[in-house]
Structure 1
Amino acid sequence: MQWTKNDTKLYVSEKEYVDTLFIPLIPLSPDSDEKMVKEAFQRELNQVFTQLLEKDYRGRIFTAPDYNYLTDFYETEVERINHWIEKFQKQPFDHVFLFTFDTKWKRWEKNLAGHLIWVPSMNDRDLKSTETKSFVKEQVSQVSELIQAYW
């Protein structure tokens, strides 16, 4: 289920069966043109990844809105994201996963109130290419196994 009106209404009526929250982490560095392009691609890749995962686990996973953050302030972002998680856990969600292509989150992983899933990103490519689709499907399969291990 995604952060849309219809899916959220469905979640509210079926929340006893939806025990997992998935939060996409989206970096933002507006001070560099090169980083902006790279991060825009990561956001698109993250959306494709999240949609495939949500499709496989519809009714079990709820996808939160993208969590956007400035890449210069990880320490303060940890506090902010933990506050987000705290609010969401009142629904309740038994499992919270944070998904990112940003390797810098690994340094802060132990301070996060959810489980960090970091996947190496690929270079800027066509999201509709066969190679990209294969890469994403393989990564979704591996992340699915990881999530299932927590259930």
Structure 2
Amino acid sequence: MKWIAQDVDLYSQSKEYVDTVLIPLCPLSLGTQMKQLASMYEFNTILTNEIERQFKGRLFLFPAATYFTDWTKEKKLEFIHEWTSKLSVDGVKHVFFITSDSEWKEIESEMEGTLIWSPYIPMDHVEDKYKRSMMEDQVKQLLHIFIQKWRQ
């Protein structure tokens, strides 16, 4: 399910079966990295949409949580804590964060929820017909992470 009106209605009707939230973490800067960050965002959007498609009915894909690239470690951890705290109160059992920003790996052990880091593939020169098959391959590699967490 996605953060769209139709899926929110579906979520409301089947909330007891949807115990997982996926939140893309997307860095933002208007500096020299802007094109690279936009490319990361595009990659993560395509990837998370494919993950949502695979797990429709079990997983709720939230809109991207954007943050500035110059945020400190402490601010990032506070940001994550805010998300996980609010979602926990609402009964969400599994919170997954997905990103292509490798800086999150440095604080992964201090984070609440599960971090999935996936190196991004620039999509600006890939034809649309190939994007989906590339993402299907990526998702196949990530499926076991979700299944493993659900079994715990």
TM over 0.5: yes
- Distance in 1 of aligned mates of 2:147 and 2:72: 28
Q: Which residue of 2 aligns with 1:10?
A: 10
- Distance in 1 of aligned mates of 2:54 and 2:123: 26
Q: Determine what percentage of the aligned residue pairs are the same residue.
A: 35
* Count of aligned pairs between the two proteins: 149
- Distance in 2 of aligned mates of 1:108 and 1:70: 16
AA partner of residue 63 (structure 2): P
CA contact (8 A) 1:74 1:105 kept: no
Secondary structure in structure 2 of the residue aligned to 1:68: strand
TM-score if structure 2 supplies the norm length? 0.90
Structure 1: where are the runs of 5+ without partners?
A: none
Q: Which residue of 1 aligns with 2:79?
A: 80
CA contact (8 A) 2:42 2:123 kept: no
Q: What is the Cα-based RMSD across aligned positions, in Å?
A: 1.6
Secondary structure in structure 2 of the residue aligned to 1:113: coil
AA partner of residue 120 (structure 1): P
- Distance in 2 of aligned mates of 1:48 and 1:74: 28
Q: Which residue of 1 aligns with 2:62?
A: 64
Deviations 1:23-54 (A, max 9, x none): 0001112122xx11111111111111111111
Query: Which residues of 2 match residues 19-98 of structure 1 at below 5 A?
Result: 19-32=19-32, 35-75=33-73, 76-98=75-97
Cα 1:127–1:6 shift into 2, 3 Å: farther
CA contact (8 A) 1:45 1:127 kept: no
In the TM superposition, residue 130 of structure 1 has moved relative to its aligned partner by: 5.6
